[in-house]
Chain A
Amino acid sequence: MYEITTKLQLSHSVALFKIKAPKIAQKRKAGQFIIIRINEYGERIPLTIVDSDTTEGTITIISQEVGKTTGMLGALEEGDHILDVVGPLGKPAEIKKVGTVVCIGGGIGTAPVYPIAKELRAAGNKIISIIGARSKNLLILESEMQSISDELFVATDDGSYGHHGFVTQVLERLIEEPVTINMVLAVGPLPMMNAVCNVTRPRKLHTMVSLNPVMVDGTGMCGACRVTIGGKNRFVCVDGPEFDGHEVDFEELLRRNRSYFTEEKMAMEELTYHEGPRCYERNI
């Protein structure tokens, strides 16, 4: 059992949790993730490790309520327990000094961007960050990103804050200014990462993305998370989650991520029926 020591509501459907897991806190590196199972009936879901505190022995995760399991997680409070937490999983992000890195976080994707951007900064890179969300109240980690960025841009789809439009528009503006960019790191919804790659590909601008496929075990034993990278089959849980964005077959991944659309909806209805309207009502 793993205790939730801190919970912070970041937006109406996004919460930050600190979970007591001293060994993981000590071992984890930027770019790695955990798999959790909330209770005995639960499924295993992957979540990025956003930060850790070795003194407290905690790891930080950020979760958005998008379905039954994240809905149940969102309903947990400080002092509650999560049944299983396994990690750190996946390859750590490659941290090198390359010069200027543009770090782009879309929605909840800012959570995986933050730890990597922080390490890239510590390695001596100049960090220009672009974080985006549908609207202002869905924006997360703004001050944290601010603290580790040389420059920070914000974009909202509805124009309620910062640039009115997409993160890709801010990126294009930067490229045209022109700012010398040595690398782009982009994490967010698949269409957003795909759009970023479409901007950087013709300019041969090295772009890393962090993928979020369906996972079961997270240790390389099943291949649920397989994606085509540069024409080859890769398991995101052991070969990733970070890959060269220009090699990713985004369309395939998007289709695979929708595999259980019907079942996911059914699970949500089940939750509504059994537990009454709680966390998920806000999401649907």
Chain B
Amino acid sequence: MTDKQRKNIPRQEMREQDPLERIANFHEVPYGYSEEQAVNEALRCLQCKDPKCVSGCPVNVNIPWFTKLVTEGRFVEAARKIKETNPLPAVCGRVCRQEDQCEKFCLRGKKGKPVSIGSLERFVADFERENEEVSIPEIPKWTGKKVAVVGSGPAGLTVADDLLKRGHKVTIFEALHVPGGVLMYGIPEFRLPKKIVEAEIEYLKKMGAEIELNSVIGKIDTIDGLFSDGYDAVFVGTGAGLPIFLNLPGENLVGIYSANEYLTRVNLMRAYRFPEYDTPVLRGRRVVVIGGGNTALDSARTARRLCPEEVTVVYRRSLEEMPARAEEVRHGGEEGVKFRFLTAPLRFIGDREGRLKAMEFVRMELSAPDESGRRRPLPIAGSEFQMDVDVAIVAIGNDVNPLIQNTTPDIETGRGGNIVVESDSGATRKAGVFAGGDIVRGGATVILAMGDGRRAAASIHRHIMKE
């Protein structure tokens, strides 16, 4: 194929479940590429000598190498190439904000659309798994070193992957009854099927990762306790799981959830299949979600599937400032989620039984940019109005989980309780303890947590091997 022909191939679009159909189920929305689409899309890659996409990826997946393999139909080899640096390709291909990472730097994006790197990553990972071609890389002889990983979210899983490949023993401690962190309790089934997360974790277990579930470090054991148990180093990847509430009047009325609670009930506990599963969730008829991030969109699209009449996302800034992935906003819109921008809640109004029945809001306008560079929303006097609401979901962000810091006073914490680390090594101020992901950054993304995990694993290796 000539370069010209290559350049004329249009970006391949994934087929998706019809919006009217999908709001009645929790099945995944995009169907993924066909083999032919994957090859065509991979052919669009220009195989740059100095690929900027690779440095745009926080775990530096060798993108041109794997897309080359895809063009040759060597899908399984392509998946294995990715797994050299990324243990969760089927996850990342689905949930990364590629428009801000690899795809942002794709040369083809300068004139036209970038190569759909995420879709290709997803395709090869799915192909390998669905064809039962997943194989376990050869693990070097045990170095005699043991590492404890606290938290089994994306950061912890990446640390485990890297350390296992270097011949260390790894035990992951997880507070919940399943591993995966936000991948299991936060991101909904229709965006990230739980079977896929389970399969990627199974792969780590086959590599030798031990996972201790139902183990809340800070309660059943402490960091110091882990060292006494014979671990040579500890990685803390406990995330940002502490929901922030609005602190508005009436916030404890029945029917008001943190997004964490709502999504945990639905995703982790499968309340959408109540009463087959025992955990209930209030469905309501008119649902309001407060916030503008992916969590808000996940909550709104989940609510849409639980059959209410109306789901509205209320955000105090405008569409442009929304931190959610563009695709999620589009999907939400297609599914009938309504958006009310430049609007902020003032109070929750209850009925006699203490159940939410309405909310009061105020219209906002954007003023001059603040120190973060975003224009600050200010209330417009006299623009207050009420809306009937019976379920409200607060999705305005999370603080870091304080359980470890509270029981390990010699770990230095910053403002808001996040753990302070050296940015290049992930080392905390406490010898032998490393940290990464949301516990360090505050609520961020899956792939940034994985990048932190990768860097921390390298420094843990140096630390325990005294290199």
Tell me the complex Cα distance, A40–B376, Å. Answer: 46
Most buried by B among A221, A222, A228: A221
Question: Shortest CB–CB separation between residue B40 and chain A, in angstroms?
Answer: 42
Chain B 231-259, CB-CB to A under 8 Å as 1, else 0, gives 00000000001110101000111110110
- Which chain B positions have C-beta within 8 A of A37? 177
Q: Are B220 and A267 in contact (CB under 8 A)?
A: no
B69 at the interface (CB under 8 A from A): no
B264 at the interface (CB under 8 A from A): yes
B83 at the interface (CB under 8 A from A): no
- Which chain B positions have C-beta within 8 A of A255? 253-254, 353-355
Q: Are B280 and A263 in contact (CB under 8 A)?
A: yes
Most buried by A among B243, B278, B353: B278
Q: Are A267 and B243 in contact (CB under 8 A)?
A: no
| Residue in B213, B275, B277, B282 whose beta carbon sits within 8 Å of that of A84 in the complex | B213
Most buried by A among B214, B241, B282: B214
B378 at the interface (CB under 8 A from A): no
- Which chain B positions have C-beta within 8 A of A85? 214
A226 at the interface (CB under 8 A from B): yes
Tell me the complex Cα distance, A251–B352, Å. Answer: 12
Name B208-231 residues within 8 Å CB distance of A: 213-216, 219-221
Q: Are A216 and B261 in contact (CB under 8 A)?
A: yes
Question: Shortest CB–CB separation between residue A237 and chain B, in angstroms?
Answer: 11
Question: Shortest CB–CB separation between residue B220 and chain A, in angstroms?
Answer: 6
Question: Shortest CB–CB separation between residue A141 and chain B, in angstroms?
Answer: 26
CB nearest to A67 among chain B residues: B278
**Stretch from A86-94, A165-173, A198-206 at the B interface:** A86-94
| Residue in A27, A43, A226 whose beta carbon sits within 8 Å of that of B219 in the complex | A27
| Residue in B215, B254, B275, B278 whose beta carbon sits within 8 Å of that of A259 in the complex | B254
- Which chain B positions have C-beta within 8 A of A88? 219-220
Question: Shortest CB–CB separation between residue A246 and chain B, in angstroms?
Answer: 19
CB nearest to B283 among chain A residues: A263
A68 at the interface (CB under 8 A from B): yes
B276 at the interface (CB under 8 A from A): yes
Name A23-65 residues within 8 Å CB distance of B: 23-24, 27, 37, 41-44
- Which chain A positions have C-beta within 8 A of B274? 263, 267
A252 at the interface (CB under 8 A from B): yes
| Residue in A43, A68, A219, A226 whose beta carbon sits within 8 Å of that of B216 in the complex | A219
Q: Are B252 and A222 in contact (CB under 8 A)?
A: no
Q: Are A223 and B245 in contact (CB under 8 A)?
A: yes
Q: Are A266 and B241 in contact (CB under 8 A)?
A: no
CB nearest to A220 among chain B residues: B242
| Residue in B220, B221, B255, B269 whose beta carbon sits within 8 Å of that of A216 in the complex | B269
B279 at the interface (CB under 8 A from A): yes
Answer whether A266 and B177 are a contact pair too, CB < 8 Å, given A88-B219, A88-B220, A224-B261.
no
| Residue in A43, A68, A87, A266 whose beta carbon sits within 8 Å of that of B220 in the complex | A87
Q: Are A219 and B214 in contact (CB under 8 A)?
A: no
Question: Shortest CB–CB separation between residue B432 and chain A, in angstroms?
Answer: 22
Q: Are B241 and A258 in contact (CB under 8 A)?
A: no
Tell me the complex Cα distance, A228–B245, Å. Answer: 13
Tell me the complex Cα distance, A23–B269, Å. Answer: 25
CB nearest to A225 among chain B residues: B261
- Which chain A positions have C-beta within 8 A of B280? 43, 260, 263-264, 267
Most buried by B among A41, A83, A85: A41
Q: Are B245 and A233 in contact (CB under 8 A)?
A: yes
A270 at the interface (CB under 8 A from B): yes
A193 at the interface (CB under 8 A from B): no
Tell me the complex Cα distance, A87–B220, Å. Answer: 7
Q: Are B265 and A216 in contact (CB under 8 A)?
A: yes
CB nearest to A2 among chain B residues: B214
Name A230-284 residues within 8 Å CB distance of B: 233, 238, 251-252, 255-256, 258-260, 263-264, 266-267, 270
Q: Are A42 and B261 in contact (CB under 8 A)?
A: no
- Which chain B positions have C-beta within 8 A of A221? 241-243, 260, 264, 401
Q: Are B275 and A270 in contact (CB under 8 A)?
A: yes
Interface majority SS (helix, strand, loop, mixed), chain B:
loop
- Which chain B positions have C-beta within 8 A of A84? 177, 213-214
Q: Are A219 and B403 in contact (CB under 8 A)?
A: yes
Question: Shortest CB–CB separation between residue B59 and chain A, in angstroms?
Answer: 26
Q: Are B177 and A83 in contact (CB under 8 A)?
A: yes
Tell me the complex Cα distance, A85–B219, Å. Answer: 13
Answer whether A86 and B175 are a contact pair too, CB < 8 Å, given A24-B220, A252-B354.
yes
Question: Shortest CB–CB separation between residue A224 and chain B, in angstroms?
Answer: 5
Q: Are B269 and A44 in contact (CB under 8 A)?
A: yes
Question: Shortest CB–CB separation between residue A248 and chain B, in angstroms?
Answer: 12
B176 at the interface (CB under 8 A from A): yes
- Which chain B positions have C-beta within 8 A of A83? 177
Tell me the complex Cα distance, A228–B256, Å. Answer: 14
Q: Are B261 and A266 in contact (CB under 8 A)?
A: no
Tell me the complex Cα distance, A227–B253, Å. Answer: 10
Tell me the complex Cα distance, A218–B206, Å. Answer: 30
- Which chain A positions have C-beta within 8 A of B278? 41-43, 68-69, 267
- Which chain A positions have C-beta within 8 A of B282? 259-260
Tell me the complex Cα distance, A50–B399, Å. Answer: 33
A142 at the interface (CB under 8 A from B): no
A217 at the interface (CB under 8 A from B): yes
Name A148-173 residues within 8 Å CB distance of B: none
CB nearest to A85 among chain B residues: B214
Question: Shortest CB–CB separation between residue B174 and chain A, in angstroms?
Answer: 10
Q: Are B220 and A23 in contact (CB under 8 A)?
A: yes
Q: Are B220 and A223 in contact (CB under 8 A)?
A: no
CB nearest to A69 among chain B residues: B278
List the interface of chain A (C-beta within 8 A of B): 23-24, 27, 37, 41-44, 68-69, 83-89, 216-217, 219-224, 226-228, 233, 238, 251-252, 255-256, 258-260, 263-264, 266-267, 270
Q: Which 5 pairs between the two chains have the least Cβ-Cβ distance?
A: A255-B354, A263-B280, A222-B261, A221-B241, A43-B278
A selection of 13 A-B contacts at a CB cut-off of 8 Å is A23-B221, A41-B276, A43-B277, A89-B216, A221-B264, A221-B401, A222-B260, A223-B261, A224-B257, A227-B252, A233-B252, A255-B253, A263-B274
Give 11 new A-B contacts, CB below 8 A, not counting A84-B214, A220-B402: A41-B277, A43-B269, A83-B177, A216-B261, A220-B401, A221-B242, A223-B245, A223-B258, A255-B355, A258-B353, A263-B274
